[in-house]
Structure 1
């Protein structure tokens, strides 16, 4: 893979990672409701989920999504159900007492495993990611592609996706923005829950 080709791949990866959607909402929710570490774990696990699609693409198995609309639909519905579950949790969020804000980070019951599960499943149960690979990344995959080029392809996608959401999590977890989010935490959580539910409903209706 030439430097020019890799830079083109890098740009496409950035475009895909920066596009707002359910992934961003889940990372934001984990960061706000739990901690920056939860957000980072969500980001890393999401990148690994995206990496699964990247690996399937270089192995040629990504065409299954394009050739099997039933499989694509089943994965979409599974993802929508998962989004509904997370969204309802957000809508049912309870207000935090002002005295608890200072110790909020240590009072959370959510584990890092919960954060990892959410990040990975949101990526894995989104067949549109696989179709995105077929549409935009197919130009980087060819029959004579060597093992090194395939490895670089997969690692680039994982690193860009993970680093972008890690950056998002770290930016949101400090400074004036964090103070504002904590002050309006209940409504932010409910708004994120509503966004996830609307995305799930759009999947069911599309």
Structure 2
């Protein structure tokens, strides 16, 4: 509500001064009402179930850090889906085109994991079985890789397990007709490779996912790589 001000000799406001002051006040008011863009990037929010799924694993032999979910495609988070494979329960199916691994469940369900696969020229497909499982495995590059890759050459006799080991936290070894195919399902600590074709032939999963899969499947599990 407007209020009448009584002037006195000590308080005389000129019309010009009042208008100037009013203009300044109006400018301040407008500035106060204006929306100023926040320069900080908006952080994506993730379902708490996924945050917990990919949380740090401090009690591992080599503590596994939490996954930065901003670097992992949401479409490749671990989740239950309708089984698209038609394989019998307990079978592992790797769909290299879609970059998914399915562990077939009962009642038409499958547990789906996002994977990274071998780049063109370093892929394998067929039916086989998981003949060996290892925790924090030693990585021994094949002679062909040692010959072509100077990074692999120093580890010709084996690289001990650890976070920097290319096999990650777990490895499942694929054998066909009793013979090692040299291909593995194994871990990685680089989420950006999931959904991509970047490795030298093997199928890689986030460390948290390969730890989960390793615990679910026994030696002798059938596997189909398409």
The structure carrying a bigger helix percent of its residues is 1
- Smaller-chain TM-score bracket: under 0.3
TM-score, structure 1 normalization: 0.26
TM-score, structure 2 normalization: 0.24
**Higher relative contact order (Cα pairs below 8 Å, separated by 6+ residues):** 1
